[in-house]
Amino acid sequence: MIRLVFRVAAVVVLLLAALVGLGGNRILRRAHNPWPRRFLSGAAPLLGIRVRTTGQRASGTVLLLANHVSWIDIVALGAATGSAFVGHDGLAAVPLVRWFARLNDTVFIARHDRAGVAQQVEQLRTALAEMGTVCLFPEGTTADGKSLLPFKSSLLGALEPLPAGVVIQPVRLDFGDEVPGFAWIGEESGLANFRRVVARARPVTVTVQFLPPLAGAALANRKTITAAARDAIAAAMADG
């Protein structure tokens, strides 16, 4: 319990400092906002998370498609890339989560809101243009980290057709042998998972593995994109 309280307190202090920087950035009207990445980079070790990267991160305007294991994924990817994220609109219903997400320019997608598709397309394309990197979890929920759930091509509907110049890069998040202690699955609540993970004595190393960007026929449409990304991440998992 003492470790949990200390780590949360340290992250809160860091957040307050980041909010001051964020406010200054907005007052100066700077287009680039470095503070979410700075916050997540600092928060990762405070929460007992070591972020390691392998592979070559694509340059330019990039949509990352990653497997999803835990809320830790956001900390690791945010620290490694400064990415904004695409989340389902259910998260926006939780005030504290919505507030944190908005600080990092999260785009909320309502999967069944056909009337709002045009607006969602515009939001996602604006996020790509302004942030440079956006991450989406095509599984739509968290898995056990050892296998992949089906990738939902509907989540990429906002990017069909694919805007010119956007690179699609699959990313594998690897917790190694520690994954059973961190995966957020089953009936466990988000708060319970957070407390369990942050209270651990031993840090976890999360490897962010950048895989080759998709090319050619894989980019034909949202179904080929999701299939190719899933195949690439599954192959990386099989290779260990």
In this structure, of 59-73, 101-115, 169-183, the range with the lowest mean pLDDT score is 101-115
Q: Strand locations in the chain, DSSP E?
A: 49-54, 61-66, 84-88, 107-109, 133-136, 166-174, 204-210
**Dihedral sign, CA of 58, 64, 67, 71?**
positive
11-27: average pLDDT: 69
Mean model confidence pLDDT for the chain? 80
pLDDT confidence of residue 109: 67
Say how far apart CA 38 and CA 97 lie, in whole Å: 19
Instruction: Out of 10-19, 32-41, 116-125, give the one with best mean pLDDT.
Output: 10-19
- What is the band of 89 on the pLDDT scale with cuts at 50, 70, 90? low
Say how far apart CA 163 and CA 209 lie, in whole Å: 25
In this structure, of 39-48, 71-80, 156-165, 226-235, the range with the lowest mean pLDDT score is 156-165
Per residue in 189-216, pLDDT tens?
A: 777 888 888 888 788 899 999 999 999 9
Q: What percent of the chain has pLDDT over 90?
A: 26
pLDDT confidence of residue 206: 92
Q: Which CATH number fits domain 2-238: 3.40.1130, 3.30.450, 3.40.50, 3.30.460?
A: 3.40.1130
- Is residue 115's pLDDT more than 50? no
Residue 60 falls in which region: left (phi positive, over 0), alpha (psi -120 to 50) or beta:
left
In this structure, of 86-100, 133-147, 164-178, 203-217, the range with the lowest mean pLDDT score is 86-100
44-59: average pLDDT: 91
Question: From the CB of residue 209, how many other CB atoms can be counted at a distance below 10 Å?
Answer: 18
Predicted model pTM: 0.84
- Is residue 114's pLDDT more than 70? no
Q: Which of 106, 72, 113 is nearest to 203 (CA)?
A: 72
Does residue 136 sit in helix, strand or coil? strand
pLDDT confidence of residue 57: 94
Domains of the chain by residue range: 2-238
